[in-house]
Amino acid sequence: MKIVVMIKQVPDAEEIFIDPVKFTLNRSQARGIINPSDENALEAALRIKEAVGGEITIISMGPPQAENAIIECMGRGADRGILITDRVFAAADTYATSLTLAAAIKKLGEFDLIFAGESTTDSGTGHVGPGVAEFLGIDQVTYTINTKIEGEMLIGERELEDGIEVVSARPPLLVTVMINANIPRHSSLRKKVDAIRKGIEKWDHDTLSLPPDWVGLKGSPTLVGALKIPEERKRASKIIKLEEIPDLVNELVKNGVISTGGD
Amino acid sequence: MSEFDAIVVGGGPAGSSSAIKRASSGLNVLLVERSDPPGSKNVSGGILWGKDLSAIVPDWEKNAPLERYITAKGTGFLTTDSMISIDFRSKKLEASKTGYSVLRAKLDQFLANKAKSSGATLVTGVTVDKLAFDGDRVIGVQQDGDTITSDVVILAEGANPRVAIDSGVRKPIDDQDIAIGIKQVIRLPESTINERFNLRGNQGFAGEYVLGFLQGTVKAGAFMYTNKDTISLGIVVNMSGLRENNSTYSFNIMEQFASHPFIQPYIEGGKVEEYSAHLVCEGGINSVPKLSGNGYMIAGDSAGLTFSNGLVIQGMNYAISSGIAAAETAIAAKAKNNYSSDFLSSYDTNLSANYVLKDMNTFRGIENVTWSNLMHKAVPGIAENVLFRMFNETGQPKEHLSSILMDSIRESKYSKSDLIIEAYRALRRL
């Protein structure tokens, strides 16, 4: 089974802050991590590879330092890593990103399954996985928490608002994976040393030979209007001692915060 | 034939220095660090003393991520109401640039990347399980069921040397040799730090204090260091004291220190950006294990190579120096193709010849002074009493210093003879 896993290196959300003057996300202090649900996507792919055999290729689009995230994925069991990196791809929105990734997967040749995280923590649109499926013209199984191969079919459990839907679909397919789908494994020293030795492949604009106005900022129809920090609402706070609870209840009743019930 | 000439376990100052030295000499080195990026899992007060890095990174003073150079050194005692301290500020200290405040998240990454650019294979985010043995000879490391082989392994795991202990090459750590360190990194504007600590530009302050206000047998020291736009504030609590006093919590001691009337003004309005805790080696020379054996060497905190006499507290320089010494031995071993315990024991000899083990031998037993009742329970109260009576004007006739001192000793619960004996012991060891 030929499997592609799409991952993105994102800044650790705990280390991002909003620049209070320019209202932009300051990511300079944040370390790069694999987007959390992409780790679940890789884990889901690894489990299928372990069950039915196959080869996993990691594809990521991003700056050169995203190499670390790809090496980490290979350290967990992926076989090959490709980083799509070029200045002209910068500032792409989800449309241009999906198009570029789809072009890369097409160039890769035949595939059975493409796995992607449900959404990223840095923009959270959830567009890119489904977008790639659309550009490639293949079916998609989204929001999965469990996937397995039975015969020629992929069985996917989709976590929806009103329950879990079990679907059966025929590859080639794109599958998006939820953050609660599984517990991602750690990389191993053996596999990581091998991954560093093997290295990753870097593909640029020339490799993909897409028209320049299809990629990066030029190929992006989305415009970000503004980014605002909502004002923090100051709440009254008070520390109450045990014996003061009756007074507190009276005060809350008086202010209409709680009612005494009855009528 | 081994896969690597050397495997270094741990990418702190000891491990990375060792890897830089080895890789620059053309050895095929694997450096494994469990945190990603390196430096994100350790806790260190954060003053790098000395110039040991010059041997492996000649331009470190220009290019390493250093915060401030120490021009002012404070040391003293804190009681509930008072701070009694020496504040040594000197153009001479400034000229010698002998200590730099550092943030390890930055410095460790810098050093690990140096190792990588020197040719070492750097693997982060992976924890080594154990040493791999063939008979009694170390032949590499085990991780997740795999064995990665090397001619020699350097264990530089830090204060909690799990691989060394689990592999049986080091005994578990005793309570008496260990303390708990807690540290906050507090952000404040650079100009505010300069004003509060009376500093200019990149001048820095490093202060260390005995916490004389603690109850029972709990003993703790504390530190306050200036970085560029943060302050590193922390405590080091003696482990056995904590075990004996079940109602004392280390985090409360941290709060007491941070809210002390003469510490709090320094950090007022600052934002706590990091809060971390870690083991700290405090055992002195008696806690240093066998430093090498058949196919392995131990460096830095893993080997208990730290120095503290209460006035001078150092660790990173001992780590760097021992890491380099281990690398030199490994390079010589490669040339002779001899990794026996006999040959590797030249590492111990090298360390004995340089300041690392010399210092630790000179100050043998110093841990008994730095953690003594005299320093933690008697002196702070007596000193406060003497100074208060000397400086407080009550309109009463004045007394000689000697009689104030004798009064103060009498008021403390220590006998004069005990104090004299303890003080004599302390002076000899300092």
Residue carrying structure tokens 């492996």? B56
Looking at the predicted structure, is the pLDDT value of residue A226 above 90? no
Interface of B with A (CB under 8 A): 30, 32, 36-37, 40, 121, 123, 125-126, 128, 141, 143-144, 146, 148
What average pLDDT does range B92-111 have in this prediction? Answer: 93
* A228 close contact with B: CB closer than 8 A: no
Looking at the predicted structure, is the pLDDT value of residue B194 above 60? yes
C-alpha dihedral, B150 to B156 to B159 to B164, nearest 10°: 20
| Contact state of B125 with A193 under an 8 Å Cβ cutoff | no
What average pLDDT does range A106-122 have in this prediction? Answer: 95
* A186 close contact with B: CB closer than 8 A: yes
| Chain B environment of A189 (Cβ under 8 Å) | 32, 123, 126, 128, 141, 143-144, 146, 148
Per-domain residue ranges of chain B: 4-65+103-171+289-363, 176-281, 372-429
Tokens of B136: 């009694």
Distance separating alpha carbons of residues B178 and B298, to the nearest angstrom: 18
What average pLDDT does range B207-230 have in this prediction? Answer: 94
| Contact state of B40 with A31 under an 8 Å Cβ cutoff | yes
Q: Please tell me the predicted confidence (pLDDT) of residue B311.
A: 75
Top-ranked range on mean pLDDT: pick from A216-225, B319-328, B361-370: B319-328
* A20 close contact with B: CB closer than 8 A: no
| Chain A environment of B143 (Cβ under 8 Å) | 188-190
| Chain A environment of B2 (Cβ under 8 Å) | none
How would residue A38 be classed by pLDDT, with cut points 50, 70 and 90? very high
pLDDT tens-digit series, residues B231-263 = 999 999 998 888 888 888 999 999 999 999 999
Residue from the list B37, B123, B143 with its beta carbon closest to the beta carbon of A196: B123
What residue spans of A65-183 are helical by DSSP H?
67-76, 94-108, 128-136
| Beta carbons within 8 Å of B347's beta carbon, 6+ residues apart | B291, B292, B297, B325, B326, B329
Phi and psi angles of residue A79, each rounded to the nearest 5 degrees, phi first = -95, -25
* A219 close contact with B: CB closer than 8 A: no
Tokens of B231: 């302050």
| Chain A environment of B144 (Cβ under 8 Å) | 186, 188-190
B83-89/A80-84 β-pairing: unpaired
Q: Verify cis geometry, omega within 30 degrees of 0, for the bond prior to A230.
A: no
What average pLDDT does range B269-278 have in this prediction? Answer: 93
How would residue B270 be classed by pLDDT, with cut points 50, 70 and 90? very high
What average pLDDT does range A124-144 have in this prediction? Answer: 96
Looking at the predicted structure, is the pLDDT value of residue B49 above 90? yes
What average pLDDT does range B392-401 have in this prediction? Answer: 86
Q: Which residue range forms the structural domain that includes residue A134?
A: 2-214
Q: Name the residue of chain A whose CA is nearest to B33's CA.
A: A189
Contact B126, B143 (CB under 8 A): yes
Which one of B124, B147, B163 makes the best mutation probe of the A interface by having the most chain A beta carbons within 10 Å?
B124
Neighbour count for residue B207 (Cβ, 10 Å): 22
| Chain A environment of B126 (Cβ under 8 Å) | 75, 186-189, 192
Specify if A76 maps to a domain: yes
Distance separating alpha carbons of residues A66 and A16, to the nearest angstrom: 17
Which one of A31, A39, A188, A189 makes the best mutation probe of the B interface by having the most chain B beta carbons within 10 Å?
A189
Which one, of A211, A205, A215, lies nearest residue A84 by Cα? A205
Which one, of B315, B299, B319, lies nearest residue B307 by Cα? B315
Window 73-92 of A, Cβ < 8 Å to B: 75
Average pLDDT over chain B, rounded to an integer: 92
Tokens of B5: 């000439």
Looking at the predicted structure, is the pLDDT value of residue B313 above 90? no
Specify if A24 maps to a domain: yes
Distance separating alpha carbons of residues B418 and B402, to the nearest angstrom: 18
Distance separating alpha carbons of residues A250 and A247, to the nearest angstrom: 5
- B37-41, B276-280, B423-427: least confident range: B423-427
Q: Name the residue of chain B whose CA is nearest to A195's CA.
A: B123
| A28-33, long-range: CB < 8 A, 24+ apart | A31/B36, A31/B37, A31/B40, A32/A65, A32/A66, A32/A68, A32/A69, A33/A9, A33/A69
- A234-238, B140-144, B322-326: least confident range: A234-238
CATH of the domain at A168: 3.40.50.620
| Contact state of B128 with A189 under an 8 Å Cβ cutoff | yes
Contact A97, A116 (CB under 8 A): no
Q: Which CATH code of 3.30.200.20, 3.40.630.30, 3.30.9.90, 3.40.720.10 fits the domain covering B176-281?
A: 3.30.9.90
C-alpha dihedral, B112 to B115 to B121 to B127, nearest 10°: -30
| Contact state of B128 with A75 under an 8 Å Cβ cutoff | no
Q: Name the residue of chain A whose CA is nearest to B29's CA.
A: A193
Looking at the predicted structure, is the pLDDT value of residue A263 above 60? no
Neighbour count for residue A160 (Cβ, 10 Å): 9
Tokens of A147: 């996937």
Residue from the list A31, A186, A193 with its beta carbon closest to the beta carbon of B123: A193
* 3-state SS assignment for residue B430: coil
Looking at the predicted structure, is the pLDDT value of residue A17 above 80? no
Q: Please tell me the predicted confidence (pLDDT) of residue A262.
A: 62
Specify if A189 maps to a domain: yes
Tokens of B134: 């063939």
| Contact state of A31 with B143 under an 8 Å Cβ cutoff | no
User: Around A115, how many Cα atoms within 13 Å sit in the side-chain half-sphere?
Assistant: 35
| Chain A environment of B123 (Cβ under 8 Å) | 75, 189, 192-193, 196
In angstroms, the separation between the Cα of residue B334 and the nearest Cα of chain A is 22
Domain count, chain A: 1
Looking at the predicted structure, is the pLDDT value of residue A18 above 80? no
What average pLDDT does range A28-54 have in this prediction? Answer: 94
Q: Please tell me the predicted confidence (pLDDT) of residue B160.
A: 93
pTM of the predicted model as reported, rounded to 2 decimal places: 0.90
| Contact state of A72 with B125 under an 8 Å Cβ cutoff | yes
Contact B100, B46 (CB under 8 A): no
Q: What angle do CA A156, A157, A163 make, to 5 degrees?
A: 150
Looking at the predicted structure, is the pLDDT value of residue B330 above 90? yes
Distance separating alpha carbons of residues B293 and B133, to the nearest angstrom: 12
Distance separating alpha carbons of residues B267 and B232, to the nearest angstrom: 10
In angstroms, the separation between the Cα of residue A17 and the nearest Cα of chain B is 12
| Contact state of B144 with A192 under an 8 Å Cβ cutoff | no
Which one, of B222, B229, B231, lies nearest residue B182 by Cα? B222
How would residue A228 be classed by pLDDT, with cut points 50, 70 and 90? confident
Distance separating alpha carbons of residues B299 and B291, to the nearest angstrom: 7
Q: Please tell me the predicted confidence (pLDDT) of residue A20.
A: 67
What average pLDDT does range A123-128 have in this prediction? Answer: 90
> Exposure of B166 by Cβ count < 10 A (0-12 exposed, 13-18 middle, 19+ buried)?
middle
Distance separating alpha carbons of residues B379 and B105, to the nearest angstrom: 37
In angstroms, the separation between the Cα of residue B273 and the nearest Cα of chain A is 10
* A72 close contact with B: CB closer than 8 A: yes
| Contact state of A190 with B143 under an 8 Å Cβ cutoff | yes
In this predicted complex, what is the ipTM?
0.87
Specify if A227 maps to a domain: no
Q: Please tell me the predicted confidence (pLDDT) of residue B245.
A: 86
Residue carrying structure tokens 């689990």? B166
Contact B22, B120 (CB under 8 A): yes
Report DSSP letters for A195-230, one per residue: HHHH--EEE-HHHHT--GGGSTTTT---------PP
- Dihedral-angle region of residue B341 (phi above 0 means left; psi in -120 to 50 means alpha; beta otherwise): alpha
What residue spans of A11-93 are helical by DSSP H?
36-52, 67-76
CATH topology of domain B4-65+103-171+289-363: FAD/NAD(P)-binding domain (3.50.50)
| Contact state of B37 with A187 under an 8 Å Cβ cutoff | no
Distance separating alpha carbons of residues B332 and B350, to the nearest angstrom: 12
* A187 close contact with B: CB closer than 8 A: yes
Q: Please tell me the predicted confidence (pLDDT) of residue A259.
A: 84
pLDDT tens-digit series, residues A55-86 = 999 999 999 999 999 999 999 999 999 999 99
Task: Write the DSSP symbol of residue A261.
Answer: -
Distance separating alpha carbons of residues A119 and B211, to the nearest angstrom: 50
CA distances from A129 to A56, A119, B17, B42, B231 (A): 17, 8, 44, 37, 44
Specify if A45 maps to a domain: yes
Specify if A235 maps to a domain: no
Tokens of B86: 């020496």
- A126-135, B284-293, B340-349: least confident range: B284-293
